Structure 1
Amino acid sequence: MTTTNLRAIGEAYNLFERAMNGDLRAKAEVRESLTTSDFPILLGQGYQRKLLAQYATIDPVWAQYSMRSTVPNFKRQRLVDILGGRRGLTRIPEGTEYPARDLDENEYDFSVAKYGDRFPLTWEMVINDELGAFRGLDQVLAADARYTEGTVTADALLNQDHTDLNTGFFGTVVNTPLTADSLQAAIEGLSSKRNAEGQTMVRPELRLVVAPGLEFLAKQLVAAVEVRLTNGNRTTVMNNPLAGMVQVVVEPNLLRNTNAKANTTWMLLPAPGAARPAIVTGFLAGHEAPDLRVKNDQGVRPGGGSIGASEGSFDDDTIQYRVRHVVGAATIDNTFTYASRGA
C-alpha cells in the first residue's frame, strides 16, 4: 500500500471522527465526501487499521490456558498425539538387537466456525447527521472479536447446554471447595499420573482456572509466602508449599454456566505449551484476525451515469460494513486436568 493511499485512509477516518464528535464543518465534508465511491472504502480501510491495532492490544484470557493453532479450512481437523518417547527407552544388553516399539496414538478432532455482523450506515443517518452509531466502531469490534474467542474457548469446558462443566471431557467433576488442602491434594493427584506402561509421567506447568467469585481466594492461596498452622495453643509458621506452584487465571466466561455453583468453579489445566494441552483454540490460516469490509452497491441510473455512495445501497439505502472472524475450540487431552464445582 502506497504512502498516498495510507494518507487518504487516515484522512478519511479522521474526518469521520471529527464529524462524529460534532464538528459541523466535518459533517458537511462527510456528506460531500460520501458522494464519491471511494470514501466509504477508504473509511472502511481506516476502521480496519484501527480495528487490528486495537485487537492486538487486548490480551485474551483464553491464551493463558489454551493452545493456539491454525487450520487450513473449515473441515474437522485431526490432531494426532504420538505418545512414543514419553515412557523412556529400552535398555539394550550387549550384542542384542534393538526391539521394535509400537507407537500409541490418540486422535482429537476440532474445527473452526465463522462469526460476524453487519453495520449499516443509513442514508437517513447521513441526511440527519446522526453518525454516533459508528463512534468507536473499531474498539467495539476488536473487543467483540476477542470476546468471541473467549466464549468459544470457555464453552469447550462446559457441556453443550451450559448447565454444568464438561463431564464428558473431565470425566469426574467433584464438589470440593477451593482450599489450600484441596488444591494441594489436586496437584499431588496430577503429579502421580502414570502412562499405559505404568511409568510415572512428568507433571506439566499448571494453570489454576477459576470463576470470578474465587479470584481473591485463589490468588491468596498461591501468593502467600508463609502460612500459620494452629494446633490447640500452638501456632507454627512455615513456608507456603503452594507459593508459585500454579498461575491463577480468572475466566469470567465460566459464568456462562447456568449451574448454581458456576461462580465457585475451579479447575487445574496444563499451560498452553505443555506436551499434553487440554484445550486448543484454532484460527483459519491467513485469516487469524478479524476482517472488516464495506459493501458499496448503489447501482446505476437508467439513463446511465454513476450514483454517489451517499445515495445508499440499491436494496435498502445503506452503506454497510461487515466484520468476519473465524475461530473454534475443542478439548484435547484430560490427563493433567482436575475440575470442581466448588462449595
Structure 2
Amino acid sequence: MTNTLLEIADQIAAETSGPTPAAHRRRMQQTPGLMEAALGMARLIAHYREGSARAALELNEALTTSDLARFASGMLIDREMLQNYDALPTQWGKFLTPTTVKDFKPKSLATLELGAQVFKDVPERTAYPVAKGPELDEKFIQAKKTGLLYGWSFEAQVNDDLEQLQMVPQAFPQMARDTEDDRGLRLMINLETGSLNTGFFNGGNGNFGTLKLTAANLELVLNSLRTKRDPKTGTIIPAGRLQLVVGYALETLAERILNVDRVQMADGNGGFTYAPNPLRGKVDLVVNEKQLGESWIVMPKPGTARRAPFYFAKLRGYEQPDFRYKADQGRAVGGGDIVVTGGSFDDDTIWYRGRHIMGVAHGDPVLTYGSDNTGA
C-alpha cells in the first residue's frame, strides 16, 4: 500500500473530473461532514487491521447502523484499491509495447514500412525521385472487458466476519494486475508449462530453435538478429536494445554468461588465453518471474525498436480498473430507502465488482528468437 488510510482520506477530494463512476463518487466526497467521517473511519479501520478487538466491535457497529459511516468506508476502500493497483508490480511491461484504443473495435497496428531508404541527389531543374512503395503489414489489437464479482453474505455480516470485507481492497487490485500478466505473457509462453507460444515462435516466422543457452549460442543469436535485412531494401533492420528473457531456472546461468569479465579462449597451440567477455554490456538480462522451465527468448526492449513483437492496449479513459458495489437492495414496504449493507433484494448479499479493460496482440516476429533449450 503506497499511502495509509489517513493519507488517502486527506487526498480523496482529488480527481473529480470526468463521467466515470469513480469520478462521480469523488465529487460526492467533497463535503466537510463526509470528510470528517472518512477520517474517523480511516482511524477505525487502521486500528482494526492492527488487531484491536475494540476497533472490530466499533467498526461492525458503524457499518451496520450508520449510512454515513458505510459511505465513508466505501469511499476509502475505493481509493485504496486504486492505489494498491498502481503499486503492485507486473511482468508484462518488460516485454509488451503499450498502446491505447478509443473503443472496443479492432485497432489496426499496420505500419507503413518504407524501409531504411535514403534521400537521393536532385540535380538542378529535375524532379525528385520517388520513394519505393510502402509495405502494409496488417495486424490488429482489440480491447476486451474482464471482471469478477465477490459477494459479502448477510450471514457473514451477522457473524461479524469483517475479514471478508477487508479482503476486497487487496484481492481485487491483485486480480486486475494478474489478469494483465496472464493476457500479456501468454503471447510469449504457456504459463502452466513454460513452453514457448508456438503460434508466434515457429518455423514459419523463422524465430524458433532448440539451442542451449551458452555464450557461443547467445552471441550467434544476437549477431543474427542485429544483421537482419529488410527484404525490400536490403538494408539492416534496426534492432533497438536487445534483451535476454529467462525464468528463474536459467537466471544464474544467464548472469554468469553476461556478467563475467573475461572468457577463456583457445590460443591455437593447444593451450588457452583470456579475452574480454564480448557479451558484457551488449544485451540486457530480464527475468520473467512467471516463466517456468528453461526456455529463453531474445527480443527488443519495448520502445527501442520500430518493429515491436508484442503489444498491450488499454481503453482510453478507462486505463485503471473500476471497482464498485451493487445497490439493488430495494425499498422498505413502509417507504424509504434501504442501506446498501442491507444486501441484495434477491439474496441478501452485498456484491462487489471489479472491471478491467485491456487487449493484447502479436506484432512483428522478425527481431525475436525463442529456444526451448533442448538442443546442442
Q: TM-score, normalised by structure 2?
A: 0.81
Distance 1:11 1:206, change over 3 A: farther
Aligned residue in 1 for 2:87: 57
Q: Output the CA distance in 1 between the equivalents of 2:121 and 2:31.
A: 65
**Structure 1 position 108, deviation (Å):** 1.3
Aligned residue in 2 for 1:244: 281
Query: Per-residue CA shift, 1:254-285, capped at 9, x if unaligned?
Result: 33xxxxxxx11111111111211111111111
Residue 288 of structure 2 corresponds to residue 272 of structure 1 = no
**Structure 1 position 6, deviation (Å):** 4.7
Moved more, 76-85 or 5-14: 5-14
**Structure 1 position 7, deviation (Å):** 4.8
Residue 115 of structure 2 corresponds to residue 82 of structure 1 = no
3-state SS in 2 of match to 1:268: strand
**Structure 1 position 202, deviation (Å):** 2.3
Q: Output the CA distance in 2 between the equivalents of 1:160 and 1:82.
A: 33
List alignment gaps of at least 5 residues for structure 1.
256-262
Aligned residue in 2 for 1:225: 261
**Structure 1 position 251, deviation (Å):** 1.6
**Structure 1 position 104, deviation (Å):** 2.1
- Which residue, out of 209, 214, 218, partners 1:179? 214
Contact preservation (8 Å) 1:20, 1:131: no
Q: Output the CA distance in 1 between the equivalents of 2:116 and 2:68.
A: 59
Q: Output the CA distance in 2 between the equivalents of 1:20 and 1:319.
A: 21
Aligned residue in 1 for 2:346: 315
Aligned residue in 2 for 1:166: 197
Q: Which amino acid aligns with 2:220?
A: A
**Structure 1 position 49, deviation (Å):** 1.6
3-state SS in 1 of match to 2:183: helix
**Structure 1 position 22, deviation (Å):** 4.5
Contact preservation (8 Å) 1:10, 1:46: no
Q: Output the CA distance in 1 between the equivalents of 2:91 and 2:39.
A: 31
Q: Which amino acid aligns with 2:82?
A: L
3-state SS in 2 of match to 1:167: coil
**Structure 1 position 222, deviation (Å):** 1.7
Distance 1:336 1:142, change over 3 A: same
Aligned residue in 2 for 1:342: 373
Contact preservation (8 Å) 2:194, 2:294: no
Alignment of structure 1 residues 1-343 onto 2, 5 Å: 1=13, 2=30, 4=32, 5-19=34-48, 21-34=50-63, 35-84=65-114, 86-101=116-131, 102-158=133-189, 164-170=195-201, 171-172=205-206, 173-195=208-230, 196-229=232-265, 234-255=271-292, 263-273=293-303, 274-343=305-374
3-state SS in 1 of match to 2:209: coil
Q: Which amino acid aligns with 1:113?
A: K
Distance 1:77 1:200, change over 3 A: same
Contact preservation (8 Å) 1:44, 1:292: no
Q: Output the CA distance in 2 between the equivalents of 1:264 and 1:71.
A: 35
3-state SS in 1 of match to 2:111: strand
3-state SS in 1 of match to 2:41: helix
Equivalenced residues, count: 336
Q: Which amino acid aligns with 2:102?
A: P
List alignment gaps of at least 5 residues for structure 2.
1-12, 14-29
Distance 1:250 1:110, change over 3 A: same
**Structure 1 position 94, deviation (Å):** 4.5
Q: Which amino acid aligns with 1:71?
A: V
3-state SS in 2 of match to 1:209: strand
Query: Per-residue CA shift, 1:162-186, capped at 9, x if unaligned?
Result: 8952334332411111110111000
Q: Output the CA distance in 2 between the equivalents of 1:308 and 1:338.
A: 58
Q: Which amino acid aligns with 2:62?
A: S
Q: TM-score, normalised by structure 1?
A: 0.88
Distance 1:306 1:202, change over 3 A: closer
3-state SS in 1 of match to 2:178: helix
Q: Output the CA distance in 2 between the equivalents of 1:167 and 1:6.
A: 54
3-state SS in 2 of match to 1:333: coil
Identity of aligned residues (%): 32
- Structure with more relative contact order (C-alpha pairs < 8 Å, separation 6 or more): 1
Contact preservation (8 Å) 1:78, 1:107: yes
Aligned residue in 1 for 2:21: none
Distance 1:226 1:335, change over 3 A: same
Contact preservation (8 Å) 1:114, 1:326: yes
